[in-house]
Amino acid sequence: MEHLESVRKWYPKALTSIDTVNRLLDTIEKYIGLKPNQLMHADSMCCDDVNAIQYPPRAYEMLGPFHLGGLDGFPFAGITGMNAFAHHVPEDGAVIIF
């Protein structure tokens, strides 16, 4: 994992996507009481970004992903796209946007 060593040289507390998603889901369940199947997740990144998120297996326990598109992290789905996204969120659930 040479690339991970390079990242940690400059960002010593950096986490892998697997560790990030595991910690996120465990924390949400512990402190908020929501299970992954109550979470609708989306991403907001440039559609042609070569560094697109490669979701780890546990991320697929959540609903989604809903791709909002985006430029510099700002979704370009607009009001219509955000409305479409909102209609997929469970009544007793929540939203996570990467």
pLDDT in tens, 34-48: 999 999 999 887 766
Residue 21: count of CB within 10 angstroms of its CB: 24
| Cα–Cα distances in angstroms (integers) from residue 39 to residues 22, 44, 46, 49, 64, in the given order | 14, 16, 23, 25, 9
Average pLDDT rounded to a whole number, residues 33-62: 85
Q: What is the pLDDT of residue 49?
A: 59
Does the structure show a pLDDT above 70 at 51? Answer: no
Say how many domains are in the chain: 1
Residue 58, pLDDT > 70, answer: yes
Contacts of 90 (CB under 8 A, 6+ apart): 37, 38, 40, 63
Distances (CA, A) of 51 to 19, 42, 55, 72, 93: 18, 16, 12, 13, 29
Give the domain extent around 41.
2-97
pTM of the prediction?
0.80
- The pLDDT assigned to 90 comes to 94
